[in-house]
Amino acid sequence: MNKHIFKILPIIGTAPIFLFFGCQPKMESQTTSLTENAQQLSGTINIDGSSTVAPVSSAVAEEFANIAPNVKVVVKTSGTGGGFKKFVVGEIDISDASRPIEPEEIEKAKQNGIEFIEIPIGYDGLSVVVNPKNTFVDYLTVEELKRIWEPGSKVKKWSDVRPTFPNKEIKLYGPGRDSGTFDYFCEAILKTKKESRQDYQASEDDNFLVTGVSGDPNALGYFGYAYYEQNKDKLRVVPIDNGKGPVAPSPETVQSGEYQPLSRPLFIYVSKKAAERPEVKAFVEFYLSEEGRELIRAEGYMPLPDEVYAAVLERFRAGMTGSVFEGIPHVGADLRKLYAQGG
């Protein structure tokens, strides 16, 4: 797993700013063809949003600094919803997102004259985890997950989930309401719009959730696959049964579509105005390059099919704005149909 060097600058009244600097050997790559004048590029690229996508954007920023050392990439994390709040009023150039942009966010962007380009960058398998000392949960069904997390849930103890489970209180950890992971889980499992039970430890910081579950034998939580992968020595992932038998998240089950309904695409949203700046254009093209895909894989997520990347890059270069998800469900969506076939 790549370890990224960053400097944290405390800013009064806002989240810490992470400035990434190139510090690893330059990758032998195709980047010269992508950014022939990269050494001459300069400027600042401001990114905010999803804590799930942030590690990828940070890794890309670090490697991009090797070919464009005069470009500063600032990556902040305030959750998908928090990032979109800034993006739709023009405060940032790129919004990291673990769900598609929503109709009300699109409308707010229109009101503020913000056009955007939607770019899927990889797949994630949203992971349900327990403490390794929990040896009784062999799998959970989608219906059991729903009963645990639904609004007004009566589930307080593990025995309320399944009679064979111990009569011990469940300690729940999950994303906060500004998280795209929270939004996706609500839609995929609870069939609600941004609504779940409220009596749990909530945070947009996935590392807080990891610490909580790893420190409590009776805990249950959920977050992006990369955070499980990075901490699997102190977590145990729970296979999920959607009616076709229990399936655990993995690169293979996520890419094949077998791990449903908790497989999802991840995105960056780029301001069209920002994309006209040469440093932003070069950064996004590097993000979608073979090197960028390797960084996505290194951070624990799954790259998209080659034909989807090709189609998305073409859309970006053409300046095609808007979301392909307007008016259609995004849970279980086929990106090949939506992007590679010009949906």
- Residue 43 in 3-state DSSP? strand
More confident residue, 139 or 226: 139
pLDDT category of residue 118 using cuts at 50, 70 and 90: very high
Query: % helix / strand / coil in the chain, to the nearest 5?
Result: 35, 20, 45
- Residue 221 in 3-state DSSP? strand
Q: Give the distance from CA 79 to its chain's centroid.
A: 9
Q: How far is CA 238 from CA 111, 212, 222, 265, in A?
A: 43, 16, 10, 20
Both ends of the chain: CA-CA distance in Å? 35
Residues 227-249, mean pLDDT to the nearest whole number? 95
Residues 131-150, mean pLDDT to the nearest whole number? 97
From its phi and psi, is residue 76 left (phi > 0), alpha (psi between -120 and 50) or beta? beta
Q: Which residue has the tokens 């990032």?
A: 83
Integer-rounded Cα radius of gyration of the chain = 20
Q: Two tokens at 72?
A: 């500063």
Work out the mean pLDDT of the chain and round it to a whole number: 88
pLDDT category of residue 262 using cuts at 50, 70 and 90: very high
pLDDT of 35 higher than 70:
no
pLDDT of 332 higher than 80:
no
pLDDT tens per residue, range 159-187: 999 999 999 999 999 999 889 899 999 99
The tally of CA atoms less than 13 A away on the side-chain side of residue 133 is: 8
More confident residue, 45 or 35: 45
pLDDT score of 34: 57
pLDDT category of residue 33 using cuts at 50, 70 and 90: low
pLDDT category of residue 331 using cuts at 50, 70 and 90: confident
pLDDT category of residue 108 using cuts at 50, 70 and 90: very high
pLDDT score of 14: 37
pLDDT tens per residue, range 76-102: 999 999 999 999 999 999 999 999 999
For the ranges 12-21, 220-229, 254-263, 278-287, which has the lowest average pLDDT? 12-21
pLDDT category of residue 19 using cuts at 50, 70 and 90: very low
Alpha helices in the chain (DSSP H): 31-34, 54-67, 79-87, 103-111, 142-149, 158-161, 180-185, 206-214, 225-230, 251-256, 272-275, 278-287, 290-298, 306-318, 335
pLDDT category of residue 334 using cuts at 50, 70 and 90: confident
Residues 49-69, mean pLDDT to the nearest whole number? 95
